[in-house]
Amino acid sequence: MSIHRKSKFEVNLMKQAGNVVALVHAAMKDAVKEGVTTKELDEIAYKIIKANKADPTFLGYHGFPGSICTSINEAVVHGIPSNDVVLKDGDIISIDVGATLRGFVGDSAWTYPVGNISDEKKKLLMATEKSLFAGLEHMKTNDKLENVAGAIEDVAKEYNLGIVRQYGGHGVGREMHEDPFVFNYRTNNTLTLLKGMTIAIEPMLNLGGDDVIVLDDEWTVVTKDKKPSAHFEHTVHVTDDGPEILTKLL
């Protein structure tokens, strides 16, 4: 495993990339509504990223055709934006955004309600967001990556939610996916967190079981039992004083 710890200069560049991602999410919060297509959301994101002199990290990544991932209801991650997919009242949509600016990546996902959602979905969104911030509390020097994973797992168990086990967080920097990989449950990982590490923490929790499958488009990951899933993610810098969230508005 090769983990590149970032300099102050590099972290500042990542903050700028993260700011672009945060601008997209600010727009998504307003744009997500009944009757909107996921392709329309993708076009809004593309324009914002380009207007801020950045590039959409996801577009063309291993052939991915969108600037954002749009994953609705039972779709966990990697949903492809489409003119044929229209948001309906009661849906939830996870929007994952990556922006590359001056060679560095910002990566963040959020799950949004469409209109009026069920109490079960409200619980899912609340608990998954709670698990993200529970994990982030441990993103400080000399803490353990295992404690990040364990904090997420504990919240999932508290609310009786399934944990997606095949996907997780990851280092971020010049590449979207760097070491280390971050499971959202305990695995006896011995890695000690050190100042300068920049990692995307991203719990994916389900109203049903843990199991997921990939659809025939070879991208979209859905829950095997078709129950709804939520996804929340921030890119975070490990510091002596605790987590510094890089994917927020400057």
199: domain range? 8-245
Specify whether the backbone of 11 is left (phi greater than 0), alpha (psi in -120 to 50) or beta: alpha
**Nearest-CA neighbor of 206 among 187, 231, 170, 183?**
231
What is this structure's pTM?
0.97
Contact 143, 177 (CB under 8 A): no
Q: What percent of the chain has pLDDT over 70?
A: 100
Domain count, the chain: 1
Contact 169, 182 (CB under 8 A): yes
Q: Which amino acid is at 245?
A: I
Residues 6+ apart with CB under 8 A from 174: 4, 103, 104, 105
What value does the mean pLDDT of the chain take?
A: 98
Cα–Cα dist 187/56, whole Å: 33
Residue 1 pLDDT level (bands cut at 50, 70, 90): confident
Answer yes or no: is 2 within a domain. no
Residues 6+ apart with CB under 8 A from 160: none
DSSP-assigned states of every residue in 187-199 = ----PBP-TT-EE
Chain centroid offset of residue 12 CA:
20
Cα–Cα dist 97/76, whole Å: 14
Answer yes or no: is 3 within a domain. no
Q: In this predicted model, what pLDDT tens digit does every residue of 94-134 receive, in sequence order? A: 999 999 999 999 999 999 999 999 999 999 999 999 999 99
Three-state DSSP class for residue 166: coil
Looking only at the bridges linking them, the beta strands covering 242-245 and 104-113 are unpaired
DSSP 3-state helix, strand, coil percentages of the chain (rounded to 5)? 30, 30, 40
Give the pair of three-digit tokens for residue 161. 């939610």
pLDDT at position 97, please? Answer: 98
Question: Between vectors from CA 147 to CA 158 and to CA 15, what angle results, nearest 5°?
Answer: 105
Cα–Cα dist 203/233, whole Å: 7
Residue 155 pLDDT level (bands cut at 50, 70, 90): very high
Looking only at the bridges linking them, the beta strands covering 178-182 and 212-214 are unpaired
Mean pLDDT, residues 70-81 taken together: 98
pLDDT at position 86, please? Answer: 98
Answer yes or no: is 87 within a domain. yes
Q: State phi, psi for 123 to the nearest 5 degrees.
A: -60, -45
Locus of tokens 């300099």: 7
Answer yes or no: is 250 within a domain. no
Answer yes or no: is 167 within a domain. yes
Query: Where residue 42 sits, what CATH number does that domain have?
Result: 3.90.230.10
